[in-house]
């Protein structure tokens, strides 16, 4: 089957041919005719199978007829991450170059001014992350009543990032009569519930069983001690014919430290994670695409947003906490029919996580032993022999003594002389008695002097009358402010 057999317009077919594509992938071959027939659709396919073109191509032909209005986008595409939104925008620019369609990108990490201006001019396609879209909607900068086509991309990732309540709110603001397309790599029960609520009699397309991984990717798990992970990673980067590689870690701090460690050992490595602003993330990703750096250390925020051709290897420095993320991580290699290799470093702490991955993918990942300079990397603790199978402690000849001196040189405890036979210690001379200090005579306490006669402060006169009639006992005239008579 060719793209010309799917009912696309001539202008669109020319854009597809100019992009170098002739044969559609299975998900494209089944999804494009259904979308052109204006049906609701549920598309389940693993990452890297062409889901993006599966809804971008028919949307361009549908939106070719119509008129755009200010603040009212005609179609809406929801993406979980900025990288995925930018990737979809690149597809619209590439395939819609022969159509007069305007597009706006609403993502966080950038200023709102240009985004609001684009909405005021009117757009045909609005590509947004839920957070920024809800922010502009609450500010009254966008109206969703004119949106007739909704695409929910990477729905399972939306679930992992906690966007399902926002999606339900957005869907309630859209017209009831609309076309809704839902694409996902997996189909957990909450996504099934969301589809039953907001899709009307959808067509179900599944080109691969849920949570299956790409058969063109050779996968390996490497048992390794936690402290030896970086050494094993550097060994694989040097010996496994790596041209370009993406290394995933669970924590942003681990991503930063890993990138710096690789740079110190001579590797051209970069980093991309959620703590970086959008311009810095775009710059690092562009360096990786241009070949300026050959290794990109990333967190799961970029697992589904990196679409770079020719990635030969994917390394899971940490086993992902969510099993679904494993499928999306390794899907960064082996894209477009190419082959790839994926390695997962499994420490004892990752035992439960790797078991969940193998349960989800319904298959055991082959194990690879790695030797460093003639010595095998220490296996996880649970793979070693149990303690009861080992030789008893007292039978081990190579056991070192606990103290520096050999215990055999010391006399046995029973050979030591008894306490009664030991020589008595020399008695110390008795201490000379110190002379008793003479007690000093304490001074007698001072006796309180008799109180003086109390005077009346108001009249400056004694409280008792004169002893003799006519005798003056008051203050001297002219003294203390009293004028002479």
C-alpha–C-alpha distance, residues 8 and 42, integer Å:
20
Weakly modelled stretches of the chain, pLDDT under 70? 47-48, 208-214, 302-305, 336-337, 373-485
Domains and CATH numbers, the chain: 3-206 (3.40.50.300), 217-389 (3.40.50.300)
C-alpha–C-alpha distance, residues 281 and 107, integer Å:
13
Beta strands in 51-132 (DSSP E): 75-78, 103-106, 125-128
Report pLDDT for 404: 46
Report pLDDT for 336: 66
Report pLDDT for 37: 94
Report pLDDT for 49: 77
Report pLDDT for 7: 92
SS3 call for 376: strand
C-alpha–C-alpha distance, residues 133 and 174, integer Å:
13
Tokens 């290799």, residue? 341
Report pLDDT for 312: 93
C-alpha–C-alpha distance, residues 326 and 180, integer Å:
28
In 139-251, which residue ranges form alpha helices assigned H by DSSP? 155-160, 164-173, 189-198, 229-239
- End-to-end Cα spacing for the chain: 140
Strand partners, 223: 346
328-344 CB burial, b ≥16 within 10 A, e <16: bbbbbbbbeeeebbbbb
Q: Judge contact between 101 and 124, C-beta under 8 A.
A: yes
Q: Judge contact between 115 and 73, C-beta under 8 A.
A: no
SS3 call for 134: helix
SS3 call for 375: strand
Q: Which two tokens stand for residue 136?
A: 């502009």
322-371: pLDDT as tens digits: 887 888 888 888 876 678 999 999 999 999 999 999 988 888 999 998 88
Length of the chain: 485
Count Cβ atoms below 10 Å from residue 91 Cβ, excluding itself: 18
Tokens 């590439």, residue? 94
Report pLDDT for 47: 67
Element holding 297 (H helix, E strand): strand 295-298
């Amino acid at each position: 089957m060719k793209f010309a057999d799917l009912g696309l317009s001539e202008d669109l077919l020319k854009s597809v041919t100019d992009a170098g594509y002739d044969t559609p992938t299975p998900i494209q071959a089944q999804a494009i005719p259904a979308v052109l027939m204006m049906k609701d659709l549920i598309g389940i396919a693993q990452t890297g199978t062409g889901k993006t073109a599966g809804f971008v191509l028919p949307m361009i032909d549908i939106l070719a007829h119509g008129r755009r209005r200010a603040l009212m986008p005609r179609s809406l595409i929801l993406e979980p991450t900025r990288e995925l939104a930018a990737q979809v925008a690149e597809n619209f620019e590439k395939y819609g170059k022969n159509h007069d369609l305007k597009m706006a990108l609403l993502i966080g990490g950038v200023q709102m001014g240009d985004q609001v201006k684009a909405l005021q001019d009117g757009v045909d396609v609005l590509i947004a992350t839920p957070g920024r879209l809800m922010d502009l909607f609450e500010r009254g900068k966008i109206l969703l009543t004119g949106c007739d086509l909704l695409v929910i991309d990477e729905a399972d990732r939306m679930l992992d990032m906690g966007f399902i309540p926002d999606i339900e709110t957005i869907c309630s603001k859209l017209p009831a009569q609309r076309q809704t397309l839902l694409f996902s790599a997996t189909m957990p029960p909450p996504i099934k519930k969301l589809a039953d609520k907001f899709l009307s009699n959808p067509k179900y397309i599944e080109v691969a069983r849920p949570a299956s991984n790409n058969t063109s990717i050779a996968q390996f798990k490497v048992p390794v001690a936690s402290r030896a992970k970086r050494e094993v990673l550097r060994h694989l980067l040097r010996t496994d014919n790596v041209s370009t590689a993406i290394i995933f870690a669970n924590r942003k701090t681990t991503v930063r430290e890993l990138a710096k460690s690789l740079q110190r050992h001579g590797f051209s490595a970069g980093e991309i994670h959620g703590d970086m602003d959008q311009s810095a993330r775009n710059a690092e990703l562009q360096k990786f695409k241009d070949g300026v750096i050959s290794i990109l250390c990333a967190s799961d925020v970029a697992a589904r947003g990196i679409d770079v051709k020719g990635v030969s290897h994917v390394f899971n420095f940490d086993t992902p906490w969510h099993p679904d993320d494993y499928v999306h991580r390794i899907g960064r290699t082996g894209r477009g029919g190419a082959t790839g290799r994926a390695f997962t470093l499994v420490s004892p702490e990752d035992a439960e996580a790797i078991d969940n991955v193998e349960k989800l993918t319904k298959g055991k990942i082959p194990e690879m032993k790695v030797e460093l300079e003639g010595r095998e990397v220490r296996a996880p603790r649970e793979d070693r022999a149990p303690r009861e199978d080992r030789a008893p402690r007292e039978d081990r000849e190579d056991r070192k003594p606990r103290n520096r001196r050999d215990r055999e040189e010391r006399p046995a405890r029973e050979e030591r002389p008894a306490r009664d036979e030991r020589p008595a210690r020399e008695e110390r001379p008795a201490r000379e008695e110190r002379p008793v200090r003479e007690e000093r005579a304490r001074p007698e306490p001072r006796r309180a002097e008799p109180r003086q006669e109390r005077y009346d402060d108001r009249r400056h006169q004694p409280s008792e009358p004169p002893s003799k009639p006519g005798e003056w006992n008051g203050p001297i005239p002219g003294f203390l402010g009293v004028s002479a008579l």
